[in-house]
């Protein structure tokens, strides 16, 4: 089994939860903030993955079997490694949106 095939279930669940979160954000009028927050988190996770995977592979901590990867690499790391942070960002953004209760704009009460 390839790393791409192993990643697909996680990516699929992440996409479903993210899509549900997007509908929820749109109903609340927060779609722009939802997508921009997801994009910022994704850029950060992908950047960290690229840096640290390459460092760890250069140090000899681990490597991938050539039969399980596509052969496309960014530096030393296979591009399939980007699917994990992408799936995580999708899933966590969707869950965060669904668990976030809308703030009500009630008058301020003095204690």
**pLDDT per position as a tens digit, 10-42:** 999 999 999 999 999 999 999 999 999 999 999
pLDDT at residue 1 in the model: 79
- Going by C-alpha positions, the residue among 16, 1, 4 that lies closest to residue 83 is 4
CB 34, CB 94: distance < 8 Å: no
Provide the whole-model pTM. Answer: 0.82
Beta strands in the chain (DSSP E): 73-74, 77-78
């Amino acid at each position: 089994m390839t790393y791409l095939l192993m990643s697909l279930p996680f990516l699929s669940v992440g996409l479903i939860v993210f899509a549900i979160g997007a509908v929820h954000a749109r109903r609340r009028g927060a779609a722009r903030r939802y997508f921009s927050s997801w994009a910022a988190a994704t850029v950060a996770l992908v950047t960290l993955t690229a840096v640290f995977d390459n460092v760890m592979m250069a140090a000899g901590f681990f490597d991938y079997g050539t039969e399980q990867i596509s052969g496309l690499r960014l530096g030393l790391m296979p591009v399939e490694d980007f699917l994990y942070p992408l799936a995580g960002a999708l899933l966590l953004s969707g869950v965060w949106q669904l668990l976030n209760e809308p703030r009500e704009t009630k008058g301020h009460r003095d204690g």
